[in-house]
Chain A
Amino acid sequence: MYQFYFENLISFIFAGLLLLSALFMITSKSSVHSVLFLVLSFVCSSILLFLIECEFVSFLFLIIYVGAIAIFFLFVVMMLDVKISEAPNDYIQFFVFGFIFTFFFILLIMLVSSDTFTLNSYIKNVIHMDINYYSNWYYKIDYLSEVKSLGQVIYTFYVLQFLIAGFILLLAVIGSTSLTSTGVYIGSKNQTPFKQISRNLKNAINVF
């Protein structure tokens, strides 16, 4: 019998949002909007990864793609000040090419996944995708999430490496600010030649 699960609803919502934002990213005319939709699609995919308990990869998605690359794109796009271009409406020819390309891509993924992964025998219905009805409560009590276990390793065994990485980031901040800032000028003490040449007896001495 079909049973409705709340987790599946959330994942379906975000998968749909991901597809929609990807579509809007392609079709929107303003490049700033495209980049914003790109960010939205990254956020959605990171939430999807979070739902299937790959927390570390999802955080990496957020930090690297959203935090660094997409924001960098956004800055570049906003700095270049691209006008809203009249996009040519030749979606059809791209559609054919893209369809063939995507078809082969999906075919490849299907082949690889069918070779390497085996289907869980507990799952009878494909649509309702919860993995196991049985859950080990001892395992749940001692459960360590991915991020937590990584953190336990990083903060104990690899604390020095973590500190060095922090120093690298500090160096990057110091270097980029000191290379880009032009320094503070408190007003120059140079003489302005124009002022000096145009100065004559009459306006130099004020007689009250």
Chain B
Amino acid sequence: MNNSLMILKNIGLISEMFFGMSLIYLILFGSVLSTHKKYPIIQKTILNLSILVLFLYILLNLNNNLSVTGNLLFNFTIIDDYLSFFSKILITSFCLICLLVIKKYIKDQKVNQFEYLIIIMISILGFFLLCSSNDLITAYLAIELQSLAFYIMAAFKKDSFFSVEAGLKYFILGSFSSALLLFGFSLIYGLTGTLNLTDLKDLFFFLYPGIDFTTDTSFNTELLQIALFFILTSLLFKLSVAPLHIWSPDVYENSPTSSTIFFAVISKLSILVFISRIFQFSFHGLIYNWRYFVLLVAVLSVIVGSFTAISQKKLKSLLTYSSISHIGYILISFSAGTFEGIQNLLAYLFIYMLAGLCVWSIFLVLRLKKFYLKKQNKDLTDMSLLIKMNSALAICFTIVLFSIAGFPPLVGFFTKMNIFLTSMESSMYFAAIAAILASVVSTFYYIRVIKILYFEEVIVGNLYYPLSYIEPFIVTSTFFCFMFFFIDPTYLYIISYKIGLLFYFF
């Protein structure tokens, strides 16, 4: 093949190439500058440069008009379709906002090594590659890139015993789940002889569901089911759903909050995109083999997330359990296996990420004055009577919590209702009823937080440090997003519907 032709053919991935190259330039820049004679702290510079890189990445992606064709690049291992385009744009914009939010935190906590931001950026590269991977090896490498960066991010506050413990715990359990993933991949490769998701779709898409394959001796789907089970276990472990969730409250609570934002808010999207690629796209023909497992896990995680969060006293662990139950709702719509399932998955995930970003940035913004500055692991009572101190922030927090709980004049209501509708339409009545009952329980602890914000009877309130301009801007803009998407949810639903429609046809 001619060399220049090959470059033209693979131009769909030019934004990732740009990202990787600029990462290397960032590393060079940082290592040259930070080992200078005076050892300057270049944390802020690197952060601003990474924001610039992310911004240019968005521009490059928006100008990529090839994404509608859904072409396959790099020897059919990378897919450049609308789902990957949308998820990359989403991830980049959320990461950009996250980097803006954690700026102050990094300065306060004295995370003075510039490598922290480089590692965050490398994990973002892992998200991108995972979103567009059409091949099991590429996906495995991307997952490894992302999770290896996460282990380091969890352990990065070296003077904190908790942070190191969280990093070690995450590393051991995460590498165990990666081993399961590799085992599943190798079983699939042994059974089918291919690692390409499109080839797997061509093999399995036209199987008629419901036929008993055990009588057919030519192909053994039982072993394939075991392989799918292993892959699903590993990926659901990375998503921290209910029977595999034990690690996540510890890791989320003990690692530095700037890392926890990335774990809790952004890492879910890329893995869910890959799960839907492999299960809804390649193995949709075998839906009866994996559907009930996913549904069981989903309902269990909704119930566990709702009931365990009641007894939490720390805001971080409460948010963790709430994220577990949200992933449960998403998986309910995922296990429907329809267009609407994919559509509602993406819509719910978008609203979940938006709400998570708002809540975590409020969490980061509130810095108590009376305590030691480094104390970040907030109790719920640290925010008592926030309405007296900072009423705008309290109102924003309330609105976001109502939206997460699914109250009607907010967009969270629409997305949650649509998930229940989807599960009803694909005749999963018991799952829908269990999820509705659990969501009623889960409103209790959201309202409890609101009660603490407004009506707590304390004699002495808390004092907070004044806010700078950027974090309140982010909080209020996400707050207006909730209002906007309630008044006009068509943008959300049109984009997600388009993705769902285009998803099955490549």
Contacts and interface: CB of A to CB of B under 8 A. Distances in A.
Interface of A: 157-161, 163-165, 167-168, 170-172, 174-175, 177-179, 181-184, 186
A161 B149 contact: no
Contacts, number: 68
Interface in B92-151: 112-113, 115-116, 118-119, 122, 125, 129, 137-138, 141-142, 144-145, 148-149, 151
B137 A171 contact: no
A164 B152 contact: no
The 6 closest A-B pairs by CB, nearest first: A175-B152, A178-B115, A157-B75, A164-B141, A160-B74, A184-B39
Contacts of A159: 74
B144 A160 contact: no
A94 to B, nearest CB: 33
Nearest to B110: A183
A164 B142 contact: yes
B39 A160 contact: no
Contacts of B122: 167, 170-171, 174
Nearest to A172: B148
B77 interface: yes
A164 B141 CA distance: 7
Contacts of A178: 113, 115-116, 119, 152, 156
Q: Is the interface of B mostly helix, strand, loop or mixed?
A: helix
Interface of B: 13, 20, 27, 38-39, 74-75, 77-78, 112-113, 115-116, 118-119, 122, 125, 129, 137-138, 141-142, 144-145, 148-149, 151-152, 155-156, 158
Given A178-B113, A178-B115, A183-B113, A165 B148 contact: no
Nearest to A177: B115
B155 A179 contact: yes
15 contacts: A157-B74, A158-B77, A160-B138, A161-B77, A161-B138, A164-B142, A167-B125, A171-B119, A171-B145, A171-B149, A175-B148, A177-B115, A178-B115, A179-B158, A183-B112
B129 A164 contact: yes
B115 A168 contact: no
Contact of B78 (A160, A168, A174, A179): A160
A9 B307 CA distance: 73
Contacts of A170: 27, 122
Given A164-B138, A165-B141, A179-B158, A171 B75 contact: no
B141 to A, nearest CB: 4
Contacts of B129: 164
A160 B76 CA distance: 11
Given A172-B148, A174-B27, A178-B115, A167 B74 contact: no
Given A167-B125, A175-B151, A178-B119, 19 more contacts: A157-B74, A159-B74, A160-B77, A161-B138, A164-B142, A165-B141, A168-B141, A170-B27, A171-B148, A174-B115, A175-B115, A175-B119, A175-B152, A177-B115, A178-B115, A178-B152, A179-B158, A182-B158, A186-B39
Nearest to B148: A171
Most buried by B among A160, A170, A172: A160
Nearest to B138: A161
Most buried by A among B20, B77, B125, B141: B141
Contacts of A157: 74-75
B137 A167 contact: no
A172 B171 CA distance: 13
Nearest to B115: A178
Nearest to B167: A179
A39 to B, nearest CB: 26
Contact of A161 (B141, B148, B151): B141
Contact of B152 (A163, A179, A184): A179
A177 B115 CA distance: 9
A172 B137 CA distance: 19
Nearest to A157: B75
Contacts of A165: 141
A158 B133 CA distance: 13
Contacts of A160: 13, 74, 77-78, 138
Contacts of A158: 75, 77, 137
Contact of B145 (A167, A182, A186): A167
A184 B129 CA distance: 35
Most buried by B among A163, A170, A175, A177: A175
B133 to A, nearest CB: 10
Given A160-B74, A179-B152, A179-B155, A168 B39 contact: no
A171 B115 CA distance: 10
A160 B128 CA distance: 13
A167 B75 CA distance: 20
Contacts of B74: 157, 159-160
